[in-house]
């Protein structure tokens, strides 16, 4: 048991997240991949904001502590379903049938300090005309990689 803690070095150990009303709580036990600011019109509507901060985590690393029964879902397309708290509306995650190994999270629901950082702005071609992006991360007109 001497080096038990070392198992989690560099993985950010355990992150905690929850919805606004607190009924839904979850943990992330693995690292957070490919954090992007998505400026597409769908994300803007889903968040009611200039952009969504999205990332991938492995499905097996995402676990509910409580409140899973409060999840409601919206089938956005034949591939993608978005899950949110039916009590407070916080967006918790989305799943894509083409990527069953991943859960797509909205980073604003994470309460923990995280070690990962955003890597890009995507769908910059469809950003709101009132938004100015002023950091130096790379911009992509649409998808950066596979999503």
In this structure, the strands spanning 80-85 and 71-75 are antiparallel
- Please list, residue by residue across 49-64, b when 16 or more beta carbons sit within 10 angstroms of its beta carbon and e when fewer do: eebbbbbbbeeebbee
| Residue from the set 19, 28, 55, 93 that interacts with Zn ion by CB under 5 A | 19
Task: Report 63-92 residues binding Zn ion (CB under 5 A).
Answer: 85, 87-88
What is the Cα–Cα distance from 78 to 122, expressed in whole angstroms? 22
How many of the chain's residues bind Zn ion (CB under 5 A)?
A: 9
Determine the interface stretch with Zn ion among 3-11, 21-29, 98-106, 107-115 (rule: CB under 5 A): 21-29
How far the first Cα of the chain sits from its last, in Å, is 40
| Residue from the set 28, 32, 43, 103 that interacts with Zn ion by CB under 5 A | 43
Q: Is 30:11 a contact under the CB 8 Å cutoff?
A: yes
Contact residues for 116 (Cβ-Cβ < 8 A; gap 6+): 12, 31, 32, 33, 35, 55
Least separation in angstroms between CB 139 and Zn ion: 14
Least separation in angstroms between CB 25 and Zn ion: 10
| Residue from the set 40, 57, 93, 105 that interacts with Zn ion by CB under 5 A | 40
Least separation in angstroms between CB 54 and Zn ion: 7
Residue (of 53, 57, 31) closest to 118 by Cα position: 53
Least separation in angstroms between CB 85 and Zn ion: 3
Determine the interface stretch with Zn ion among 25-33, 38-46, 57-65, 98-106 (rule: CB under 5 A): 38-46
Which residues contact Zn ion by CB under 5 A? 19, 21, 23, 38, 40, 43, 85, 87-88
């Amino acid at each position: 048991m001497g080096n038990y803690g070392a198992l989690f070095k560099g993985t950010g150990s355990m992150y905690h997240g929850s919805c606004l009303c607190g009924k839904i709580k979850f943990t992330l036990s693995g690292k957070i991949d490919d954090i992007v600011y998505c400026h597409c019109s769908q994300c803007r509507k889903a968040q009611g904001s200039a952009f969504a901060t999205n990332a991938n985590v492995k499905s097996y690393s995402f676990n509910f502590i409580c409140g899973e029964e409060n999840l409601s879902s919206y089938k956005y397309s034949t591939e993608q379903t978005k899950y949110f708290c039916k009590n407070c509306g916080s967006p918790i995650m989305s799943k894509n049938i083409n990527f069953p190994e991943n859960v797509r999270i909205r980073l604003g629901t994470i309460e923990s300090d995280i070690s990962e950082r955003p890597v890009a702005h995507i769908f910059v071609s469809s950003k709101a005309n009132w938004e100015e992006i002023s950091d130096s991360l790379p911009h992509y007109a649409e998808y950066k990689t596979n999503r």
